[in-house]
A and B are shown apart, each in its own frame.
Chain A
Amino acid sequence: MLDADFGLRNLDLLLGLENRIVFTAQEVLAETCRLEQALVKHKQEPNLALLPAGNPRMLEWLTPKDMKAIVSLLEEQFDYVLIDCPAGIEDGFKNAAAAAREAVVVTTPEVAAVRDADRVIGLLNTQGVTPVQLVLNRVRPKMMSNQEMLTVDDVTDILALPLLGLVFEDEQVIVSTNRGEPLTLGESGSPAARAYNNIARRLQGEDIPLMDPSEARKGFRARVRQLMQTRLF
């Protein structure tokens, strides 16, 4: 995973690797260290490695050319290179988009987020990034069925993108980020963890049906699961 957001980098914190970063992609490019030294391997999952693009106190900003160079180095060693793109459509976005072949646009069913996603999709299209797929995050099935939130169909109609995944609003996401333990590596089986796993498997070409928001609230098993995750103390 390449954290392209160096000004406000956070992937290290979310993955629980914040104390192990010594070098960044910038040092690799400047040839003050080797790529292997800058890569931070995850303890539980040795196939997962993080490379921060830079540190927040960086003096010189990376260019799209630098990002392409880093990604081509990573490509030689890994099956998948995930570039975490910073928010906004400024330099950070341009850097990340320049180095990307495909894109996954993550948005929520809210008006401001959908409008911004539309802008980003337009820019990705003009840059020739293809395919562009959509992940709808923080879906609240109850609000959707009460027609108080844009539905999945509303958003896919408006943005005209294939849907790669749906992630329901899930408190376990906050719990796992508090600990710095990725949800998908735990045994929680929480709705968001299952959604992330499904997305990963679809990216690998598996045909996995999407979760249905209207079933998510009615299902007995879903209710029991929710009950099991209710905090008692």
Chain B
Amino acid sequence: MTVKDFIDKLLGRQTSSASTAKQRLQLVLAHDRSDLNPELLAQMRREILEVVARYVEIDIEEGDVSLETEDRMTALVANLPIRRSIQQSPNGGTL
């Protein structure tokens, strides 16, 4: 570590390289373990949003679908803020 790095860290200007390493690893391992590339994940995200949007009104901009790993288990986590639900009749039409 240089003196400059040290001062930067003291002033909170730079995150430590170890935490950057951990974040990058967690992301890349989530993809490695699930065998999903970012492109496929983006496509899945779009399709999930489409399906959910049929039932509830969601905030597309705020919505987030990502892979998380813990204890060698990979989970697909979707965080989709709902504005309001869309009431539907059984035959598909909006009431």
Known: A147-B17, A160-B72. A154 touches B1 (CB 8 A): no
Judged by a CB distance under 8 angstroms, whether B88 is at the interface is no
Complex Cα distance A168/B26, Å?
A: 24
Q: Is the interface of B mostly helix, strand, loop or mixed?
A: helix
Judged by a CB distance under 8 angstroms, whether A179 is at the interface is no
A residues apposed to B, CB below 8 Å: 111, 114-115, 118-119, 121-122, 144, 146-151, 154, 158-160
Chain B, Cβ-Cβ closest to A153: B22
Contact B26 A148 (CB under 8 A): no
Residues from chain B with Cβ under 8 Å of A115 in the complex: 25, 28-29, 32
Complex Cα distance A122/B74, Å?
A: 13
Contact A114 B25 (CB under 8 A): yes
Known: A118-B33, A146-B1, A154-B18. A160 touches B28 (CB 8 A): no
Known: A122-B33, A148-B1, A160-B71. A111 touches B25 (CB 8 A): yes
Contact B18 A158 (CB under 8 A): no
Residues from chain B with Cβ under 8 Å of A159 in the complex: 72
Residues from chain A with Cβ under 8 Å of B18 in the complex: 144, 147-151, 154
B residues apposed to A, CB below 8 Å: 1, 9, 16-19, 21-22, 24-26, 28-29, 32-33, 71-72
Complex Cα distance A122/B16, Å?
A: 29
Contact A158 B26 (CB under 8 A): yes
Contact B32 A119 (CB under 8 A): yes
Contact B29 A148 (CB under 8 A): no
- What are 22 contact pairs spanning A and B, CB under 8 A? A111-B21, A114-B25, A115-B25, A115-B29, A115-B32, A118-B29, A122-B33, A147-B16, A147-B17, A147-B18, A148-B18, A149-B18, A150-B18, A150-B21, A150-B22, A154-B22, A158-B22, A158-B25, A158-B26, A159-B72, A160-B71, A160-B72
